[in-house]
């Protein structure tokens, strides 16, 4: 089955509203979307302005996190209803910075995934091992545990629509990407895990990104792997030229 590659720009805590809007205008001029889904993940304040700047184009907008309740006394949190309202169609859930810096748990990731799906947002669920876990030979065990928790209670249709991002923690922001074969091995493992829980079509449909020091230089080799269906790009997504080059790398395959 042909899966549409998905290239997402995770800006993390970067870009003011004017910077985010001018990036959006620049990347669209021109951007060839043929056969690729392209998603920008700005910080919360820039979501609506970026969605406005992208409106009428295929460019999609994602939040970097979400809370699971629709509304209420949850100071500082943002609900899936609000994200839809702000023009989002995707949301990143369980990024390693949320897990490791802000105490995000597997259980909360699952609540957020369900809340996002309930409101028609496509979750981009991040999983990945730390360096200590990799050195201890626990990569697959860690990824399996995170994935099993994230998918808990999801039916096949919901699982098929997900995007999973495999992001080894030691490769994020370090300039040290996973070797394409190693990333492929984990992405394949993710797909096989999905196959073990659902119908085979679900495993064929689910899109699995790689993230961690993706650049225009290494994107093509990573994206050429059979189970790598796209990239979640941090540092190299902050500049229009390098992000555009990664989108085009996906299209050359
Ligand atoms: P990086 O970040 O591309 O800067 O390594 C990726 C991410 O955290 O999603």
Rounded Cα gap, residues 236 and 250, in angstroms: 15
Rounded Cα gap, residues 65 and 59, in angstroms: 19
Tokens of 224: 């050429």
Q: Is the CB of 173 under 6 A from ligand 1?
A: yes
Is 167 annotated as catalytic?
A: yes
Rounded Cα gap, residues 26 and 172, in angstroms: 26
**What is the helix (H) or strand (E) element at residue 252, kind and residue range?**
helix 240-252
Q: What is the value of pTM for the model shown? A: 0.98
Rounded Cα gap, residues 246 and 228, in angstroms: 14
| Residue pair 88/61 in contact by the 8 Å Cβ criterion | yes
One pLDDT digit (tens) per residue for the chain, 253 residues: 689 999 999 999 999 999 999 999 999 999 999 999 999 999 999 999 999 999 999 999 999 999 999 999 999 999 999 999 999 999 999 999 999 999 999 999 999 999 999 999 999 999 999 999 999 999 999 999 999 999 999 999 999 999 999 999 999 999 999 999 999 999 999 999 999 999 999 999 999 999 999 999 999 999 999 999 999 999 999 999 999 999 999 998 8
The residue whose two tokens read 């105490």 is 103
| Residue pair 124/209 in contact by the 8 Å Cβ criterion | yes
Rounded Cα gap, residues 203 and 252, in angstroms: 24
Residue of 7, 9, 10, 96 to mutate, ligand 1, most atoms within 8 A of C-beta: 10
CA distances from 116 to 45, 58, 65, 110 (A): 19, 21, 10, 10
| pLDDT tens figures, 92-119 | 999 999 999 999 999 999 999 999 999 9
Cis check for the bond before 248: say yes or no (omega within 30 of 0).
Answer: no
Pairing mode of beta strands 60-63, 163-166: unpaired
Rounded Cα gap, residues 167 and 234, in angstroms: 11
Q: Give the Å distance between the CA of 234 and the centre of ligand 1.
A: 4
Residue of 63, 100, 126, 212 to mutate, ligand 1, most atoms within 8 A of C-beta: 212
Is 95 annotated as catalytic?
A: yes
Q: Is the CB of 167 under 6 A from ligand 1?
A: yes
Could you identify the atom of ligand 1 that is nearest to the CA of residue 232?
9
| Residue pair 21/50 in contact by the 8 Å Cβ criterion | yes
6-251 sits in which CATH class?
A: alpha beta
Alpha helices in 103-179 (DSSP H): 106-118, 131-135, 139-151, 156-161
């Amino acid at each position: 089955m042909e899966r549409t590659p998905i290239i997402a720009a995770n800006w993390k805590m970067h870009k003011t509203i004017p910077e985010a809007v001018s990036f959006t205008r620049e990347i669209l001029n021109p951007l060839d979307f043929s056969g690729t889904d392209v998603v920008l993940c700005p910080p919360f304040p820039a979501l609506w302005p970026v969605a406005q700047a992208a409106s009428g184009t295929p460019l999609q907008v994602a939040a970097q996190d979400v809370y699971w309740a629709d509304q209420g006394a949850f100071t500082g949190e943002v609900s899936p209803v609000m994200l839809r309202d702000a023009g989002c169609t995707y949301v990143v859930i369980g990024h390693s910075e949320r897990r490791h810096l802000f105490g995000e748990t597997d259980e909360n990731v699952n609540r957020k995934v369900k809340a996002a799906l309930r409101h028609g947002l496509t979750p981009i669920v991040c999983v990945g091992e730390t360096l200590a876990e990799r050195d201890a030979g626990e990569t697959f065990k860690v990824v399996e545990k995170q994935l099993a928790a994230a998918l808990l209670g999801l039916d096949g249709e919901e699982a098929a629509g997900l995007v999973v991002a495999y992001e080894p923690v030691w490769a994020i922001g370090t300039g040290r990407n996973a070797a394409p074969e190693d990333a492929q091995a984990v992405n394949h493992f993710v797909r096989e895990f999905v196959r073990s829980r659902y119908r085979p079509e679900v495993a064929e449909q689910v899109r699995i990104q790689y993230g961690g020091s993706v650049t225009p230089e290494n994107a093509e080799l990573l994206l050429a792997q059979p189970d790598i269906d796209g990239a979640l790009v941090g540092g190299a997504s902050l500049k229009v030229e390098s992000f555009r080059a990664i989108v085009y790398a996906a299209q050359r395959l």
